[in-house]
Amino acid sequence: MTILPSSSVFVLATLLLPQETQSPLLLRPGDALRIQVQDEPSWSGDFEITQDGSVLLRPLGLVSVAGRPFDEVRQQLLQAYQRELIHGAVSIIPLVRIAVLGEVQRPGLLPVDPTLSLADVVAAAGGITPLGDRNKVRLVRDGRAITARLDPESDTRSLTLRSGDQIFVSRRSWWAQNAPVIIGALGSVTAAVIASILVR
Asked if residue 50 and residue 20 are part of one domain, the reply reads yes
pLDDT greater than 90 at residue 198 = no
192 in a structural domain = no
What is the number of H-type helices and E-type strands within the chain? Answer: 4, 9
Picking from 95, 122, 153, the residue at the C-terminal end of a domain is 95
Q: Using a pLDDT cut of 90, give the percent of the chain over it.
A: 56
- pLDDT per position as a tens digit, 69-84: 999 999 999 999 999 9
Domain encompassing residue 137: 97-174
Q: Calculate the alpha carbon distances from 112 to 1, 63, 116, 162 in Å.
A: 28, 21, 7, 9
Which range has the worst mean pLDDT, 35-39, 88-92, 135-139, 170-174?
Answer: 170-174
User: CB neighbours of 60 closer than 8 A, spacing ≥ 6?
Assistant: 77, 80, 81, 84
Asked if residue 103 and residue 87 are part of one domain, the reply reads no
pLDDT greater than 60 at residue 42 = yes
Average pLDDT, the chain: 81
190 in a structural domain = no
pLDDT greater than 50 at residue 8 = no
Q: How many CB atoms lie within 10 A of CB 189?
A: 10
Q: What is the CATH number of the domain that holds 90?
A: 3.30.1950.10
- Closest by CA position to 141, among listed 155, 151, 152, 156: 156
Q: What is the CATH number of the domain that holds 121?
A: 3.10.560.10
Asked if residue 91 and residue 15 are part of one domain, the reply reads yes
195 in a structural domain = no
185 in a structural domain = no
199 in a structural domain = no
pLDDT of residue 186: 61
pLDDT of residue 59: 92
pLDDT greater than 90 at residue 7 = no
pLDDT of residue 51: 96
Asked if residue 110 and residue 88 are part of one domain, the reply reads no
pLDDT of residue 193: 60
pLDDT of residue 2: 39
Asked if residue 108 and residue 74 are part of one domain, the reply reads no
- pLDDT per position as a tens digit, 110-166: 999 999 988 899 999 999 999 999 888 999 998 898 887 776 666 555 678 899 999
Secondary structure, 3-state, 83-134 = HHCCCCCEEEEEEEEEEEEECECCCEEEEECCCCCHHHHHHHCCCECCCEEE
Mean pLDDT of 41-53: 96
pLDDT greater than 50 at residue 5 = no
For the chain, the domain total comes to: 2
pLDDT of residue 3: 40
Asked if residue 112 and residue 34 are part of one domain, the reply reads no
Asked if residue 84 and residue 123 are part of one domain, the reply reads no
